[in-house]
A = this chain, B = another copy of it.
């Protein structure tokens, strides 16, 4: 879109904001700083930003040799690791589009996405060979499959057409490569939504949106990324670019630690300690595993100082455990695929200094204030803006330079409402501008014409010592249309009855919000992005008969 020019234009250097400039910067000014990776091969790999830049340029030459052109999509199915990082920069830096595919999707969905994106090549980790074998026959555009592993780990017959070894491929190429200059609004990367309903849709990021998001997300009141930190992104590089950390970390020169495929509590804990990680980021379900491991083995953290938790609302009980038991500062954040992903973060302001512990926690429990660049508002179903009183909830709308204006290839039509993107979240905003997600709009329980937010109910349940996980869903009710059912996973060896759990809600919410029943289950279904799949739970309990019905 063109905007009017002033008769007097600034006289500053004209430089497009390009992703390649980040790795060049990290090499030139922080070239000795380390990237540590736990590899799929099992060992720990260490090299520097300088090495990463050298190999990324070899890969850029290799891709050019394979005929990859500006705008072509190149897919990855890979864990967080140094080769994936090289692909991030080689693909986007050369002007092609990095299409990160979530390996937790069904093979049919992967094939659908790869065909929809018209991917030209696929780079993938050893782990995902069976997945690639399953969907490759259905891919119509992929010309070659590049396995990211050492030569000696290549299978003799991968049963995939035109399979190459990543190391062989880049070895043949020079590290002399000049990153091209092009329009900063050119597409840089592509990520499909998890698509719990209907086909997945693609968010097509630009170099400009990625760089602005990197600057904004690195700021002190957002992810607060500094060269003093050792950063371990638990959030996967295969979904929403690991919240931008593969960009914001080298941009600041911080030391990077990639966990590879080992995301269980024990492996993560060992890596945190061994590499003296100071800062991490992930979704609540991953932290649950880590905290359970640490508690069961009576461990503590010797270097871990701060974590950002997002992707789903973080139960306050988890934040308190991190802070009070382990001295780890928690930043509750919110965003989504369509937002690159960062929208808000919850951090304190100068005038909160005088608040007591509980007062501060009440602020920090929310998803927080917007990061400069993003704007937000809450509206009713007719689009009227609602008041910021911390109580009124409505549909959360956002806009900003790292928010999508439409999906790739126009899927789903024009998603915007008067220039704003409807997030699908229901939220409150308080007088101080702190936003709190009440629910996903599709998860809200509609009881007698009123809304019941399920996140509040789940947070209360998870504060009970016997509860490991909880999900609240609406179940059909003859009189009220829907009523809440609490689905609970108990902690190992914990004993608690339905009645005790329901009594635990007394005085904590309005009476008519109280769940009508509790169902105990062994596990909750977790989706491709680490979120609890409520539609799956609703499916399981679709014929459940409430005692009140």
Contact = CB atoms under 8 A, between A and B. Distances in A.
B228 A349 contact: yes
A9 B348 contact: no
Given A8-B71, A187-B8, A226 B220 contact: yes
B351 A255 contact: yes
Given A6-B182, A15-B401, A183-B6, A255 B206 contact: no
A208 interface: yes
Contacts of A340: 12
B433 A30 contact: yes
A400 interface: yes
Interface in A321-350: 340, 347-350
A406 interface: yes
A184 B17 CA distance: 14
A212 B215 contact: yes
A156 B399 CA distance: 50
Nearest to A118: B8
Chain A contact residues, majority secondary structure: loop
Contacts of A184: 3
A12 B408 CA distance: 10
Interface string A86-102: 00000000010100000
A244 interface: no
Contacts of A11: 187, 203-204, 206, 404-408
A219 B8 contact: no
Given A206-B10, A407-B11, A182 B4 contact: yes
A61 interface: no
A494 interface: no
Contact of A405 (B13, B251, B408): B13
State which size class the interface on A falls in: 35 or more
A25 B219 CA distance: 16
A267 interface: no
Interface stretch (A159-167, A367-375, A459-467): A367-375
Interface in A1-27: 1-17, 22, 25
Contacts of A278: 350
A219 B221 contact: no
Interface string A503-521: 0000000000000000000
Interface string A201-229: 00111111100100110111100111111
Contacts of A70: 4, 6-7
10 contacts: A10-B204, A10-B206, A12-B204, A12-B205, A25-B372, A25-B375, A29-B369, A227-B348, A253-B369, A255-B351
